[in-house]
Amino acid sequence: MNLDNLSRIDLNLLVTLQVLLEEQSVTRAANRLHLSQSALSKSLNRLRDTLDDPLFQRTAHGLKPTAHALALGKDLPQALQNLYQLTLPPSFSPQTSQRHFAFAMVESAYETLIPYFIGSLLQQAPNLKLDTYGWTEKSINDLQTGQIDFGIAGRDTHPHAQFKVGDLADGLKYQTLFSDKQVCLVRQDHPILASIDNNQWDMAAYLSMNHVQVRCEGNDWWALDYFLASQNQHRNISATVPDFYGASSICAHSDLIFTLPSSFAQHAQSLYCLTEIPLPFEFMPMAYVLLWHERNDQEPGHMWVRDMVIKNIPKTLAAFNG
């Protein structure tokens, strides 16, 4: 596309050409365009100079388009319609949209959040395409560069956490979806359950156990580990795995204890023979947040998807608390 040449063309002349093609009369075209016949004739002369073609021949029955004018008339209506669409305020129609939106999510969000908004979203926007990716250490950059549209991340609120909801990367915005606490899972016949029944469940007992850990964003430590380190304590992590399902399975088939968000613990118990026990000391909650870039803050499609996610979170909370 040669923008230099295009900039020298008065786009109003294309409207004049379309009306002349439709009316094939200077008088009628001038009336439609609210111009004098003299002004319209000047516009026609400019069109002829610009397009290097006479465009119309005068006859006893009005204007007769040239072959070039007729050829232009085949594409001109669509071109003008496209230009008109560019002048309209941005809009989004869920019922007819075929747009694609990309999400990056932490693994636990697939079970704790997606089931509560995906149905309603696709029911109202049946042709929408949703691409989902796992949350990685590169996801923040992907949000900034537009590779993904939304992020759903479970963030520790501990000061040592790499991601802090109050200190986002440039251009990112967020909405807290809900807060969650950490709990523990053990196999259903684990020996520690007897100690818990005897009120012998405390930090010392917790630290005496061997643990399975999920690696998050390439890191082996979570905020809990930094919290313990600040008190000169540490967990004995016997196994580190890449996902929650793997950790849950290991926990169900060993004496390892698994510390995780309570929302995913409920799902893990539906899959494996596991028992939930409380974390035996006070620790700050984590927050699940929806992330997006400010460039899309007022874009109608992004706003609609964002609102659909946010307004369905109460259903998720009700399910967890029920």
Where among 87, 118, 151 does a domain terminate? 87
197 shares its domain with 110: no
Instruction: Give the count of domains, the chain.
Output: 3
293 falls within a domain: yes
Are both 254 and 190 inside the same structural domain? yes
Q: Quick one: 291 and 142 in the same domain? A: yes
CATH number for the domain harbouring residue 295: 3.40.190.10
Buried b (16+ CB within 10 A) or exposed e, 30-44: bebbebeeeebeebb
Last residue of a domain, which of 41, 65, 87? 87
Say if residue 216 is in the same domain as residue 132. no
Q: How far apart are CA 208 and CA 2, in angstroms?
A: 72
Average pLDDT over residues 297-318: 84
- What is the residue-wise DSSP string for 236-285? EEEEEESSHHHHHHHHHTSS-EEEEEHHHHHHHHHHS-EEEEE-SS----
Three-state DSSP state, 208:
helix
- Tokens in use for 40? 């319209």
Residue 199 lies in a domain: yes
Q: What is the pLDDT of residues 36-46, one digit of tens each?
A: 999 999 999 99
Domain ranges, residue 42: 3-87
Q: What is the pLDDT of residues 231-287, one digit of tens each?
A: 999 999 999 998 899 999 999 999 999 999 988 898 899 999 999 999 999 998 888
Do 280 and 244 share a structural domain? yes
Element (H, E) at 84: helix 67-87
Domain termination site, one of 36, 59, 87: 87
CATH of the domain at 51: 1.10.10.10
Task: Yes or no: say if 29 and 20 are a contact pair by the CB < 8 Å rule.
Answer: yes
- Whether the full predicted model's pTM is greater than 0.75, yes or no, is no
pLDDT, one tens digit per residue, over 128-145 is 999 998 888 889 889 998
Specify if 92 maps to a domain: no
Instruction: Give the confidence band of 165 by pLDDT, cuts at 50, 70, 90.
Output: low
Does residue 195 sit in the same domain as residue 271?
yes
Whether residue 227 is found in the same domain as residue 213: yes
Query: pLDDT per residue over 58-116, tens digit each?
Result: 998 889 999 999 999 999 988 888 887 777 677 889 999 999 999 999 887 777 778 77
